Amino acid sequence: MKIGNIDFGERPLFLAPMEDVTDIGFRKMCKRFGAAMVYTEFVSADAIIRSIKSTLAKMHIDDEERPVGIQIYGRDVESMVEAAKIVESVHPDIIDINFGCPVKKVAGKGAGAGMLRNIPLMLDITRAVVDAVSTPVTVKTRLGWDMDHLIITDLAEQLQDCGIQALTIHGRTRSQMYTGEADWTLIGEVKRNPRIHIPIIGNGDVVDYATAREKFDRYGVDAIMIGRATFGRPWIFREIQNGGDSGLTIDDKIDVLEEMLRINVERIDEYRGILHTRRHLAASPIFKGIPDFRQTRIAMLRADKMADLIAILEDCRRILKANS
């Protein structure tokens, strides 16, 4: 599978772009454990143009994590084109346009999945961004706005005709948000369409080796993008590639989480580095074996010093090893 000149090989696994999740520390860990492609947190076109410091910081990429994409969102042609040109100056391998974010503060203003209610504008933005940059442009979107408007089969052709080089489809509508089960049926239909020649990347509810294999086998997608199942679990990519076994011990996994914390604190600062990391720690499945983990989880989420968070992780290490 190729996007532009980048060859990802067979059945690659991508890390989904997620706000407050895919910071540089986490991206590096996911890359280490086999993610073929990683993305920064998605960034607002308006904020890029206004040179908002926190937004520009999210666009910082490291050669160690390549290939890496930067995902942008916005609601008008002019700002999206200007933002794409600024993003290109950072030299990402791919510029991805977000037409899939369902949250109210984005979709409610007409951006992200909100564009599913204004297809002509979506296509105008896509066409203009493709024409404005030389970096490969891709799109991520959903099946449609709601179950009465499942438009992805036609929309995929229209987006391809705009010149995008890959399309990621999340198997839910905007109205579903993240509830219910992702429906990959229409993703499979898009992939089987003889007119479609760009790579189709499936997204939604892939949580382990079994679900990844089923999606590849049943729907024929070129790649799979994994989102929420990566929280506190960057080794999921190796798990899937190795048939369900990451090959890591409890010690190894806690070492990885501690390293993520250190990278984020060093790259940002202690307070924000902890904020970025502790949601991964609190969500990691490795702590399920700890009795009354709820109290430990609360302590993780309240910690505001790196030494305190490391101490909590070391307590978890001791308990988990004693129980194994």
Q: What average pLDDT does the segment 248-275 reach? A: 90
The pLDDT-based confidence of 306 (bands split at 50, 70, 90) is: very high
Q: What average pLDDT does the segment 9-23 reach? A: 92
Q: What average pLDDT does the segment 120-138 reach? A: 97
With a cut of 90, say whether residue 227 has pLDDT above it. Answer: yes
Q: What average pLDDT does the segment 290-300 reach? A: 87
Alpha helices per DSSP H over the chain: 24-32, 45-49, 53-58, 77-88, 104-107, 119-132, 152-161, 185-192, 209-219, 236-241, 250-267, 270-283, 293-302, 306-323
Q: 2-241 has which fold?
A: TIM Barrel (3.20.20)
Q: Is there a catalytic annotation at residue 101?
A: yes
Could you tell me if 231 and 283 are in contact, meaning their C-beta atoms sit under 8 angstroms apart?
yes
**For the segment 95-107, what is each residue's pLDDT rounded down to a tens digit?**
999 998 888 888 8
Q: Which of 30, 101, 162, 316 is catalytic?
A: 101
Lowest mean pLDDT among 32-41, 71-80, 272-281: 272-281
| 6 burial type by CB count under 10 A (0-12 exposed, 13-18 middle, 19+ buried) | middle
Quick one: pLDDT at residue 24? 84
Quick one: pLDDT at residue 1? 92
Q: How many CB atoms lie within 10 A of CB 109?
A: 12
**Cross-strand bridge partners of residue 203:** 170, 225
**For the segment 38-87, what is each residue's pLDDT rounded down to a tens digit?**
999 999 999 999 999 889 988 989 899 999 999 999 999 999 999 999 99
| Relative orientation angle of helices 293-302 and 306-323, to the nearest 10 degrees | 160
Quick one: pLDDT at residue 102? 82
Quick one: pLDDT at residue 100? 86
Separation CA 203–CA 152 (nearest Å): 14
With a cut of 90, say whether residue 15 has pLDDT above it. Answer: yes
